[in-house]
Structure 1
Amino acid sequence: MGFHKLSLTGRALKLLSQREHSRLELERKLAPHVEEGEDLGAVLDALEAKNFINPERVAQSVLYRRSSKLGTSRVLQELRSKGLDDDTVRAAAEQLKDTEHARAWEVWQRKFGEVPATPQERMKQMRFLASRGFGGEVVNKVVRGQAPEAD
């Protein structure tokens, strides 16, 4: 069986079958494979026109995979790094805002599960949650043992 070289479209579809990719991510991953006479922009335009590349789906995929472990700021940073437009990132921020306390509480419960006994332990817990991208106000509530109100 001869070695079959995948076309740019084939490579893009293979990547998209594994998970949602933004246009920028596909550009970065496919650029090294562009051969003379191939037009990566045109390939990506065609995939976008057929809705194979969809910023909203990329955003939802990241939210689904990452929001249980990360705070809003880290999730939004990841969305921006994928080249998603401001409107898509803003919509994701709105979606995450309401669950920030509950998500931080879950992460804290799994990692620590109890209110710190010493100032050192308190700082350690706060640094951990902050490093995960949770906001200061939420971090303070969680480390004080303030559970999110059940809606």
Structure 2
Amino acid sequence: MKMQADDPLKRLKNRALYYLAKREYGFVELVNKIKPFATDELDLNLDSCYQIVEELKQKGLQSDYRFCESYINSKKRKFGLQKISYELKQKEIDDFLIEEFIEVLRGEEYESARMVWERKYSSLPSDLNEKNKQIKFMQNRGFTFDTIKKIIK
């Protein structure tokens, strides 16, 4: 049988550390992840969640920079920069940090788009309908229209 710490803040911190041990989380994402546990099971308020995550951030255990780097590396082969940027904004990552990483990847976008297109399609579109279908697929993946035009001439 597991021994639980009596202190609710310690239990909340342990829960946050458990999540961080599995993968990187953004600040707001981690707060949202531990919020149900804090409010429902421990009767703590949202401020406690922010306090715990801020403490982990100060100790270097939580980092938006590492999260951003990890997230982009996992998505860059499947999605375009627009979609990755949008998803990071949804996770409330700072725009400056997003732009810093996106700038580095701009040169790789064509290659990523080409690989995604080749996995899905074996040949260039034969008619306008097929061309529109391929363009829509690539746009849904978050690639810019200029990049798509270079691939689907």
Q: TM-score, normalised by structure 1?
A: 0.89
Q: TM-score, normalised by structure 2?
A: 0.88
- Report 1:67-106 matches (<5 A): 67-106=76-115
Q: Does structure 1 residue 112 correspond to structure 2 residue 116? A: no
Q: Does structure 1 residue 62 correspond to structure 2 residue 66? A: no
Quick one: which amino acid aligns to residue 36 of structure 2?
P
What residue is the counterpart of 1:24 in the other structure?
Answer: 28
| Cα distance in structure 2, aligned partners of 1:36 and 1:128 | 46
| Cα distance in structure 2, aligned partners of 1:140 and 1:91 | 25
Secondary structure of the residue aligned to 2:123 is: coil
| Cα distance in structure 2, aligned partners of 1:73 and 1:67 | 11
- How far 1:106 moved relative to its partner? 0.4
- How far 1:4 moved relative to its partner? 3.9
| Cα distance in structure 2, aligned partners of 1:37 and 1:122 | 55
Aligned length: 144
- How far 1:130 moved relative to its partner? 0.3
* Paired-residue identity, %: 28
What residue is the counterpart of 1:13 in the other structure?
Answer: 17
Structure 2 vs 1, CA of residues 107 and 95 (structure 1 numbering), >3 Å: closer, same or farther?
A: same
Superposed CA RMSD in Å reads 1.7
Contact 1:11–1:30 under 8 Å retained in 2? yes
Q: Which one has the bigger helix percentage?
A: 2
- List runs of 5+ in structure 2 lacking aligned partners: none
- How far 1:72 moved relative to its partner? 0.4
- List runs of 5+ in structure 1 lacking aligned partners: 145-151
Secondary structure of the residue aligned to 2:78 is: coil
